[in-house]
Amino acid sequence: MLALLPAKNEERMVRWSILSVINQVRRPDCFLLVDDESSDSTPEIMKEFAAGFDWIHYFRVPGRRERNVGAGVARALILGVRFGEAACLRDWDLLIKVDADTVLERGYIAKIVERFERDPKLGIASGFPVGEPPNPDHARGMGMSIRRDVWVEARLKPILGWDSYLVFKARMLGWRVRSFSDIKMFLMRPTSVSEGSLHRGKFKQGFTSGFLGYPPFLLIGRAARNALSYGRPGVFVAMVAGYLSARINYPEPVDPEVKEWLRMYEVGRFRSFASRILGP
């Protein structure tokens, strides 16, 4: 099992995320701390832990200066996995990605591993952040666990919306995806606030949806649900504006086959929902 924590300028929080992995009931075989060219004390904190544990390793991603939440995380994951395979664990079976602003409950890894062992068709899974609205059919990026076969077959690209891209590719390839509400994660800041503000983060979430080729009706539903969850109508406006910006600037989605699969999948879900409400 390979665990990977990417971080860029997270000196205030990264120590607690690392400690939550060290204190797990079941620890990973290799824990890789990926420094995405931080300019604060994040590298020193990571190196301190790597020096103290033989199963923890430090890796610094080269060649990128600006903060780019999403695409930068995907790039750090891709390069980090390559480094991890070369440095400490070539034949890993499960990849667990941990965010630098997320604390895992003590039994997180043990529970996640048990779900993968119980279900051989489970391709991607996560726990659930305490205090956020539930969505059992979409694994969360901040604690996402990925079976090796899915990682190889999906071929992650360094793009915005990397976690949604992996989820859709996994489903398209016939794997199950789940998030489990009884496996808990604790966020040290609200989702999307790493972008600088909630509305800016939700604009980028809408942009990512357009970039990946979400159908418009799906985006509107997600934006409305988010606005209700946060109690802020501006969230709806920000997500729709981000979506329209992506569709104008990137009329062709990053992966046409994912767009078509997603369209058919969501149409099928809508028809199923409508038949339950209206009857046959």
SS3 call for 149: helix
Question: What is the four-CA torsion angle of 12, 20, 35, 188, rounded to 10 degrees?
Answer: -40
Long-range CB pairs of 38-47, under 8 A, 24+ apart, other chains included:
38/7, 38/8, 38/9, 38/10, 38/11, 39/9, 40/9, 40/10, 40/11, 41/11, 42/7, 42/8, 42/9, 42/10, 42/11, 42/14, 42/100, 45/11, 45/14, 45/15, 45/18, 46/7, 46/14, 46/18
Res 216: pLDDT: 86
Tell me how many domains the chain contains. 2
**Same domain flag for 179 and 267:** no
> Measured on CA atoms in the order 245, 248, 253, 258, is the torsion positive or negative?
positive
Res 146: pLDDT: 98
Res 189: pLDDT: 77
Stated length of the chain: 280
**Same domain flag for 155 and 16:** yes
Closest by alpha carbon to 146, among 171, 122, 111, 181? Answer: 122
**Same domain flag for 182 and 209:** no
**Same domain flag for 84 and 134:** yes
Domain that holds residue 152: 2-187
Q: Print pLDDT tens along the chain (280 aa).
A: 999 999 999 999 999 999 999 999 999 999 999 999 899 999 999 999 999 999 999 999 987 555 455 578 899 999 999 999 999 998 999 999 999 999 999 999 999 999 999 999 999 999 999 988 777 888 998 999 999 999 999 989 888 788 888 998 999 999 999 999 999 999 987 665 555 577 887 888 888 888 877 888 888 988 998 898 888 899 999 999 999 998 888 777 667 777 777 777 766 766 665 666 666 5
**Same domain flag for 137 and 208:** no
Please tell me whether the overall predicted TM-score, pTM, comes out greater than 0.85 for this model.
Answer: no
In whole angstroms, give the CA distance from residue 16 to residue 104: 10
CATH of the domain at 159: 3.90.550.10
